[in-house]
Amino acid sequence: MSLGLLLKERMSGWLQLDGEAKQDFAFDIRAFTTQMLSLTAPRYFQGTVTLGDLPLPCEGELTIQLSGPHYWLTFDHPKWGRVRAEGKKHYGRNGLIASLITCPLTLSRDRQTIGTAEVAYRDSMVAFPFKALRLVSEDRAYGDLTP
């Protein structure tokens, strides 16, 4: 198996679907790539979405762009079925620090918008490279997905 870069990240905040109250929302992801020298290479991820207290498996893609990281992920919502959440951090829009950690998301089902969400990285930005990044073999990238 190939050696690659694993990024482990937890983002948390809120989610609001059409006609419903806001609820706690978070995702824990493990994004992996063997293209370690290509910053903008899409990184497939697997992980867990948490709606209130309900953990659900998710998968998606993280692409780091110069203007900010772009995320999309899909999960099976107990009421709405297969939902896609997609968004991008925009550096500098709400102050540099807030824009580094905050990501607005649009939620859709069958390409129709059904809600919004906002998540943020709540751990230390200084500790991020030491806690979130690891060199691992591809066969170990998604082994333990417990948050």
DSSP conformational letter for 124: -
State pTM to two decimals. Answer: 0.85
Q: Which region holds residue 95: left if phi is over 0, alpha if psi is between -120 and 50, else beta?
A: left
Q: How far apart (Å, rounded) are the C-alpha atoms in residues 12 and 71?
A: 14
Q: How far apart (Å, rounded) are the C-alpha atoms in residues 141 and 6?
A: 6
The CB density around residue 56, as the number of other CB atoms within 10 Å, is 15
DSSP conformational letter for 139: G
Q: Where are the domains of the chain?
A: 1-51+104-125
Give pLDDT tens digits along the chain (147 positions): 688 888 899 999 999 999 899 999 999 999 988 887 777 888 999 999 999 999 999 999 999 888 888 999 999 999 999 999 999 987 766 665 666 788 999 999 999 999 999 999 888 777 777 788 888 888 888 876 544
